[in-house]
Amino acid sequence: MLGVCAFVLLFVCGVGTLVAVVGAVLGAIAIARNSNRGRAVAGLVLSVLTLVLAVVLGVLIYNWYQSRNLGECLDPVRYPTKEAAQRCLEGKLGGP
């Protein structure tokens, strides 16, 4: 059950990553105790897949952030005010 919840919640601010870790641990414990083995294996597999997807999405988002060089808009020397930083970000992201 936690594996399914983790997969769905992954797209809600990454909360599913935490649920996937818990689901993987509980799935491994249930397999070791031979407690409802089929459901435990399914939960473990879904939890691990969710963790892999979270890592892939994290890498993609990081690469996108680096390719747009958005970090320079947060430099307090070049953009001392919040409004200047906002204009910089809007210019790089194509905002209004």
pLDDT digits (tens, 9 = 90+) for 7-60: 788 888 778 889 899 999 999 999 999 888 899 999 999 999 999 999 999 999
Of 22, 46, 8, 5, whose CA–CA distance to 38 is shortest?
46
Query: Residue 62 corresponds to which tokens in the numbers above?
Result: 């990081």
Collapsing DSSP states into helix, strand and coil, what is residue 81? Answer: coil
Confidence tier at 96 by pLDDT (50, 70, 90): low
**H-helix segments, the chain:** 2-9, 15-32, 37-68, 82-93
At residue 95, the pLDDT reads 66
**Is the predicted pLDDT of residue 89 greater than 70, yes or no?**
yes
Region 60-76: mean pLDDT is 85
- 63 versus 8: the higher-pLDDT residue is 63
Put simply, whether the predicted model's pTM sits higher than 0.95 gets the answer no
CB 2 within 8 A of CB 22: yes
